[in-house]
Structure 1
Amino acid sequence: MAQWTQMQMLIQYLPDQTINELYSATTFPIEVRYFLADWIEEQRWEDFEVDNVDQKVQAESLLEQIIAKLQTKAQEISNVVDKMKLMQISRHMSMFSSQPLQFATMVRDILRKERVLLSTASSQIPNLQQFPHFSSREVVSTAPNMRDVDHLVLKVLELQECRKRIHHLQEELNWERQNFESLHGPIQQNGLDPQNSELQKIQTHIQQLEYNVKTIAKNRFQLLQETVDCLDQCQARLISRLKAWRWEQHQATIGLPFDDNLSPLQTWCEQLLGVNGKLRQEVMLMGEPIPELQEKLARLLQALIQSSLMVDKQPPQVIKTQSKFSTTVRYLLGEKVAPGKPVMVKAQIITEMQARSLGQMGTVPSENVGELINNSAILEHNTASKSTCATFRNMSIKKIKRADRKGSESVTEEKFALLFSAEITITGCDKPYKIQMISLPVVIIVHGSQDNNALATIIWDCAFSEPDRIPFVVPERVPWKRMCMILNSKFTSEIQTQHNLDQYNQHFLAQKIFDKHDISGDFSNMMVTWAQFNKEVLPGRQFTFWQWFEGVMELTKKHLKTYWSDGLIFGFIGKQHLHLILKDRPNGTFLLRFSDSEIGGITIAYVSASENGGQKIQNIQPFTKRDLDIRCLGDRIRDIDHITFLYPEYPKHDVFKKYYTETDDHLPSPNRGYIRVSLQTKVGVEAGSASPTVSSLPPHSDNPLNLGYPVQQFQQSFSADSLVDGNPTPPVEFASPNHAAVFNESPHQNMDIDFILSTLED
């Protein structure tokens, strides 16, 4: 929720005086905040300081943009009063043209005050929690860093004011001491009364000043300690948030939501670096060494500098050798890097064991386990995005050295990572710092056939690893209910749909992975092992659970996304459950289910009449990606006359009409002499008397009859645009194992029949 959205909820509870002070009609009217709310919050006002002349151009640009946006908004508004009001405000704001930095810092302070009001709202306004859309949690999640830093900055300002006050008191004390000496000397020399009232008055003032200096100095030291502790706590929260960002980035692989915007965290890092510098300055100005605080600030500085390297764009988590890939690392303190010396970031491959040693010892591994091509890049600053990144655009793994495998472990279960390292110098710091960060785990393969199994390793790692684990430890077994959530998240994110797997889908997936056929069983507390997920083949099949599930995702993503999103595909359902829900439905009732026996297939199950006058449920040979590349699912459903109602009772032409491809039979042939071609799906005897029957089909490795499916044939019809001797030419039909070709043969057209049939099969 945007900050202004929350402020609008809060404003009705605030006194008029507070609102008027916050949004002054003469400097920053509330209309500006209202109409430009999103744009204002997207800009980096926190960077501005009123005495930093280097920021003047940027401040002028922001002021000009505000004026222009107000004028544009005024033209868009139909309300005459609001239009005139905005035009008047835009003209009035031009008064800041000579003081753009004052304007920028004013906006910065307004946003800070808003955050302070929001952070304290729940405690100061008891009834606010009852407001329909207000939540204190949302306030916390909106900008915890801003509130923390605001509080920290206020303490630093208080500390600086304290030092300045001591300095002024000390100057006044020195002056009074000089006055005292100038009066006291002549009095002694001339034998005058040493209890001179003027002298006594100065002496009393000196004593008061000395007491004030001592008291404020004590408070200053205490405040300095508190501020350093506050910085420590604020930085701990920052580093925790950086870790959380990396964890959320990891979880995004399985489809969990992830905001990849690093700019707020970059602002937080830069602000803490600035605070650290000011506190180190305050420690130096204390007049005497304070080793404890100096060491603590140095330790915090090092931790901040070393924690600010992030892998912004991760490398592919499955990498094929000899293939190009890219990745980007971002340094969040990039604008603070000392100029004059380019920073070179280098990448190397590390094993799981090396990653563990790196976490424990912090040292870069010396042993090279793989050869990386194009493994260095320079940190470059992008002024427009205010980001400093090193982009590895054409990296490639030339070769890899693998560890000895344990037991039945395959190469697709071995995890590596990329380690990025550099040496960097920050402006205002005495020494360079070594920084490093590792990528998410990757699996390295040498052939595309390994891709599916490697992806399973990555999915299991992303789904079930813990945030602060030892690299790259994962459990061997997990609860099914947790696995089920992951499968749903991955499926919906991969398909990019809001339509989740329902309880029937989830139950069937459990039946499949556990090889249990009881449709009333409860699997929620059962444990799924890694072996069940992607090491052991499913009973009676030649593939694992993940290979089958991933095939369904690929088919749905490429060909069935809208059908699934519209709820037209039942999806994952077992044949036992299928018979249960279809047994009492009229003939022609059908549903769409993913094939249980074939990777990446969808089949149509429908009710038909049996030979004895009863009913039976038929499952049409599954359509695969290859089939749907040729003819879409909607057209195939339209072609099949046997199916009429989508379960439970929706007329198929009503629900699938929008998926039908418009025919162009009514259009003239684009070129005379060519025969127009149309494609049509036929099932069983629908192909006509000339079509092959079940018994006449020749043996074929892909024969659907071997799986117990009714045969589905693909018919291609040819219609001549001209007549032969004034009469239509008789059709000649040819049959192939999988397709029936029907076309008109003309003496004017020499057609290669073998070529046509082979083309149809391809």
Structure 2
Amino acid sequence: MTQWERLQQLDTVYSQRAFDLYNGDEFPMDVRHYLAHWIEGQDWERASRDSSQAAFLFQVLLENLDNQFSRFAQERDSFLLQRNFRRYKQNFQKYQEEPYTLATIINWFLVKEKGILNDAELAQQVQTLQVQPAAMELESQRQVEKRLKDLKTKVEVMEHSIRCLEEQQDEFDFKYQTHLMDSCTAEEKKKQLEGLQKMLNAVDNCRRNFLSDISAILNAADVLCSALIDEELVEWKRRQQKSCIGAPDDTSLEHLEKWFTQIIECMFQLQMFLQKLDELVGKMTYENDPIPVQKPPLQSRVDTLLTHLIKSSFVVENQPSMPQGRGLLVLRTNVQFSVKVRLLYKVPELNHVMKVTVSVNKFRKFNVLGTLSKALNMAESMNGGMVADFRHLTLKDRKVGGGGKGINDLSLSVTEELHRITFQTQFDYQGLSVPLETSSLPVVVISNSSQQQSAWASVLWFNMLCPDPENVKFFETSPAATWPQFGEMLSWQFLSCGKRCLHNDQLETLAIKLFGKQQSYDNCKISWTKFSKENLPDTNFTLWVWLDGILNLVKLYLSDLWSDGSIMGFVSKGKERLLLKKKQNGTFLLRFSESIKDGGITFSWVQYANDGTPSVHTVKPFTSTDLKQIALPDILCNFRIMVAENIPVNPLCYLYPNTPKDQAFGKYYSEKTEEENPYLKYLKTKLVFVSKENSCSGVREGPESDLCTQDRDPPSISDAGDEDVLLRESEKSPMLSSSTTDADILNSMLDIDGESTVPKPFPATSPHISLSCLHQNFPESAGDNLEEAHFTDTFQEFFNEINFQIQQEDNVNLALALS
């Protein structure tokens, strides 16, 4: 199925984005549609950089337009398309002199389409994670909506009933007063009394029915409140708790706010009805009047429900977070943080009336600095909700007694201490006065940035396992996590950092690492100590430190590659071998190192000997230090090994399972311009990893094969004496004249035997570097040489002038090869 066909099968939202993409005239949708197979079969990214390739594709495109035009000419109902394709061809003629411009345009559209497909795939992944809970939530929401609608209908009926009751009582009162003032015979008075008795019986019956109806409404309201507070609100709080650690859960308060507002309004209406009954009793009462007896308990029920609803409606909408913090719920002393609270009952009359104050306690004592009191208002909310947004709060450690830690909590580390930030306000409305209080989820308070990693581990563990946010002593007896719980939490971390969850194979690899091979991992458990305190076997770091290093690497340098699925990530070395040896020569995959503390990524590829025997080679892992200097796609693009006759060749051809390397990573390649690279103002260069073929460590199929190079070593293919050399090869250099002594200069930077050395000083009088020294054919620029480029200084002086620095880091040396 073509990419274009996949776009047409997307949901309306995403297919509409594709259609909107082609609203302009740069590249007509008709051409994209009818030539989809041919268009997607061409390498437009390469054509945008290769004029000859662009010219060839341009001519083929025009021929395809002619062929499509001829097909339309043979169809009866294709007159408009026939005319349109003629116009399209005429419009494309303007690119005759610059066909690479058209190639760039087409490539841009294809990249944008891929982005839409990736977004749709991500949305599908999130939907898959939520499909069953979402269906249950939808059903529960329908039930709440139905009950709320029934409640509102009953209250509206009660409003009509109270008016009828008042009218009946007024009529009785009028006739009774008339009867007292009327002078008539005894027989007439007897008839009047009989009529008045019937009316009084009707009033009494109406009062009793009204009170009974209120009781029934309160019964329905009890059920609705239970569903709203004990189920929906609890579920929202749990979703919010999981979202704080990366779960893709919906934490919108839109539904809850609407429901709380409507049911509270209904309760206030019932309160008004009961007050109206007091007025009616004040005007008229009688023996066995039901109102004085039945109304007080009903009033108590209404007040209790209102109080419960209003107290429950005061929530923390946005949990505490620092602007540049590691994650939610990790705060640092003397660093500002923000938090937002909301009252789910929208009542305009209380706008800017209710003042919210902030406090914090437990364990260490803190002074809270900043604006400690704010009014609930509708101006700080997008939908007009009652919120107080505290944006500039700061915690300052206040030493008490013998130190900052609590008396009974000396066994806990600072990052295991949990604190809650509390918010208080007073609700006064329509005669009801209710003190309100809510608290944040437990936060971890640190004093320096080195504690962030450990603090975030505590936040992850607590919110993964503890549904009770008030349990601030959780880490005194922390429970173990089951593998399904742990795997889900870990998958959320990768979704947050790289917009893609862990798939089942990756999770299984991690499970095997932790528990060994099992038929099922559902009952396997991992303790808090094993997660964050005990070092992994044969390492000096914990499981969490290792995982966190990988997460940081993905977030900072690999998010795009992780998001589009280019990184296999977690795969054992044995399985890596099994996967690669079945693939064609040059197939490679990317996986994370298991022995780099701060996160490392490596790649392995399969290479076949002349007899057809496969061997797998692996480079030493790249860390954040390496990726900060060179992006991984550029490393993959420019990686070289020295084969026969010392010719550098890139052995990486296909990303596992069979995607051409440039197709997978081409959109990420960077071409450094002179402006971006001031040190290379006069030379256009690129960085290349080079190693001798016979120095590559690898695994050949056989009984005595080694697994791969050690992950803990710096980036290299060699696991013996020869290190990888990061070679700058010139793409377009003005220094092209040859000399018999050029090898001396190159050897001063790179020994003949392939061993990397610290670059030696250049000779005082340096001839031009010969192209032959590099054992690689680079494009020539006829007639250009050092003198013609107006460089009159010696080679050493030239480099001193532009302050070019050659650094040696770990076992990887930088050398500059100039053509």
TM-score, reference length from structure 1: 0.68
Q: Is the 8 A contact 2:316 2:438 kept in 1?
A: yes
From 742, 751, 755, the counterpart of 2:799: 751
Identify which of 542, 550, 553 aligns with 1:552. Answer: 550
Instruction: Rate the CA distance shift 1:470–1:760 in 2: closer, same or farther, 3 A.
Output: closer
Which ranges in structure 1 are unaligned for 5 or more consecutive residues?
1-134, 189-193, 353-367, 689-700
What one-letter code is carried by the residue in structure 1 that aligns with 2:369?
A: I
Determine if the alignment matches structure 1 residue 265 to structure 2 residue 313. no
Q: 1:436–1:186: structure 2 CA closer, same or farther, 3 Å change rule?
A: closer
Q: Name the CA distance, whole Å, in 2 between partners of 1:509 and 1:187.
A: 102
From the superposition, tell whether residues 209 and 332 of structure 1 become closer, same or farther in structure 2 (CA, over 3 Å): same
Report how far residue 493 of structure 1 moved: 3.2
Cα distance 1:273–1:406, how it changes in 2: closer, same or farther (>3 A)? Answer: closer
Equivalent residue, structure 1, for 2:167: 168
Q: Does 226-235 or 524-533 show the bigger shift? A: 226-235
CA distance in 1, matches of 2:463, 2:676: 55
Q: How do 1:190-201 and structure 2 match up within 5 A?
A: 194=187
CA spacing shift, 1:136–1:650, aligned 2, 3 Å: closer
Whole-angstrom CA distance in 2 between matches of 1:659 and 1:627: 17
**Tell me, what secondary structure is at the counterpart of 2:361?**
strand
How big is each residue's C-alpha offset from its partner over 1:185-244, in whole Å with a ceiling of 9 and x where there is no partner?
3325xxxxx2x6xx7765554343222222211111111222223333323333232332
Residue 671 to residue 329, structure 1, CA distance change in 2 (3 Å): closer
Corresponding residue number in structure 2 for 1:417: 420
Q: Which amino acid in the other structure matches residue 644 of structure 1?
A: C
In structure 2, distance between residues paired with 1:371 and 1:283? 47
Q: Secondary structure at the match of 1:345?
A: strand
Alpha-carbon separation, structure 2, partners of 1:389 and 1:760: 56
Following superposition, the deviation at residue 459 of structure 1 comes to 0.6
Cα deviation per residue 1:687-735 (whole Å; 9 max; x = unaligned)? 99xxxxxxxxxxxx97557994884332234578656999999584325
Deviation, 1:466, is: 2.4
Question: CA separation in 2, counterparts of 1:324 and 1:139?
Answer: 38
Q: CA 1:391/1:739 → structure 2, altered by over 3 Å: closer, same or farther?
A: farther
Within the candidate set 470, 477, 481, 1:478 is matched to: 481
Whichever residue aligns with residue 569 of structure 1, its letter is I
- Contact 1:331–1:389 (8 Å) recurs in 2: yes
Whole-angstrom distance in 2 between the partners of 1:332 and 1:678? 61
Match of 1:403 in 2: 406
Secondary structure of 1:679's partner? strand
Residues 738, 380 of structure 1: alpha-carbon distance in 2 compared, 3 angstrom cutoff: farther
Following TM superposition, by how much is the alpha carbon of 1:257 offset from its aligned partner in structure 2, in angstroms? 3.0
| Compared CA separation, residues 210 and 311, structure 1 to 2 (3 A) | same
Matches within 5 A, 1:27-426: 140-142=139-141, 144-181=143-180, 185-188=183-186, 194=187, 202-240=192-230, 241-286=232-277, 287=281, 288-289=291-292, 290-316=295-321, 317-333=329-345, 335=347, 338=350, 342-351=353-362, 369-374=365-370, 376-383=372-379, 385-399=383-397, 401-403=404-406, 409-422=412-425, 424-426=426-428
Measured after TM superposition, the shift of residue 319 of structure 1 is 1.0
Pairwise CA distance, 1:414: 1.6
Normalising by the residue count of structure 2, what TM-score does the alignment of the two structures yield?
0.63
CA distance in 2, matches of 1:649, 1:706: 23
Gap change, CA 1:668 and 1:351, over 3 Å in 2: closer
- TM-aligned CA deviation for residue 591 of structure 1: 1.0
Does the 8 Å contact 1:412/1:443 carry over to 2?
yes
Q: Counterpart of 1:236 in structure 2: which amino acid?
A: S
Structure 1 703/570 Cα, relative in aligned 2: closer, same or farther at 3 Å?
closer
The residue type equivalent to 1:371 in the other structure is: N
Cα offsets for 1:510-566 (capped at 9, x unmatched): 23334x3x5x76433221111111111111112211111122222223322332233
- Distance of aligned partners of 1:670 and 1:253 in 2 relative to their CA distance in 1, 3 Å threshold: closer
1:416 aligned counterpart, secondary structure: coil
Q: Report matched runs for 1:300-699 at 5 Å.
A: 300-316=305-321, 317-333=329-345, 335=347, 338=350, 342-351=353-362, 369-374=365-370, 376-383=372-379, 385-399=383-397, 401-403=404-406, 409-422=412-425, 424-429=426-431, 431=433, 433-467=434-468, 470-471=471-472, 473=474, 475-497=478-500, 500-514=501-515, 516=516, 518=517, 522-598=520-596, 599-608=598-607, 615-640=614-639, 641-662=650-671, 674-685=681-692
Q: Any gaps of 5 or more consecutive residues in structure 2? A: 1-133, 282-290, 322-328, 399-403, 640-649, 696-711, 763-767, 770-785, 815-819
Separation in 2 of the partners of 1:545 and 1:502? 19
Task: Name the SS of the counterpart of 2:317 in structure 1.
Answer: strand
Deviation of 1:429 (Å): 2.0
Distance 1:595 1:668, change over 3 A: closer
How far off its partner does 1:374 sit? Answer: 1.2
Q: Displacement, 1:485?
A: 2.1
1:452 Cα deviation from its structure 2 partner: 0.9
Separation of aligned partners in 2, 1:576 and 1:509: 14
Provide the rounded CA distance (Å) in 2 between the counterparts of 1:671 and 1:564. 31
Q: Distance in 2 between matches of 1:509 and 1:550?
A: 14
Equivalent residues of 1:714, 1:740 under 8 A apart: no
Q: Which residue of 1 aligns with 2:10?
A: none
Distance 2:679 2:444 in 1: 56
- Tell me, yes or no, if the aligned pair for 1:417 and 1:441 is still in contact at 8 Å: yes
**Deviation for aligned residue 1:596:** 1.0
Give, in whole Å, the separation in 1 of the partners of 2:679 and 2:458.
57
How many residues end up aligned between the 2 structures? 582
Deviates more, 1:678-687 or 1:627-636: 678-687
1:513–1:533 contact (8 Å) kept in structure 2: no
CA contact (8 A) 2:311 2:436 kept: yes
1:603 Cα deviation (Å)?
A: 0.2
Moved more, 152-161 or 719-728: 719-728
- Contact 1:337–1:426 (CA under 8 A) maintained in structure 2: no
* In 2: Cα distance, 1:594 partner to 1:237 partner: 46
Quote the Cα distance in structure 2 between the aligned partners of 1:612 and 1:234.
Answer: 76
Percentage of identical aligned residues: 25
- The equivalences for 1:694-713 within 5 A come to 703-704=714-715, 708=719, 711-713=723-725
Partner of residue 36, structure 2: none
User: CA–CA distance in 2 between the matches of 1:175 and 1:672?
Assistant: 103
2:679, 2:803 within 8 Å by CA — same for their partners in 1?
Answer: no
Q: 1:138 to 1:537 in 2, by over 3 A?
A: closer
Decide which moves more: 710-719 or 309-318: 710-719
Letter in 2 for 1:279: L
Distance across 2 between alignment mates of 1:221 and 1:259: 41
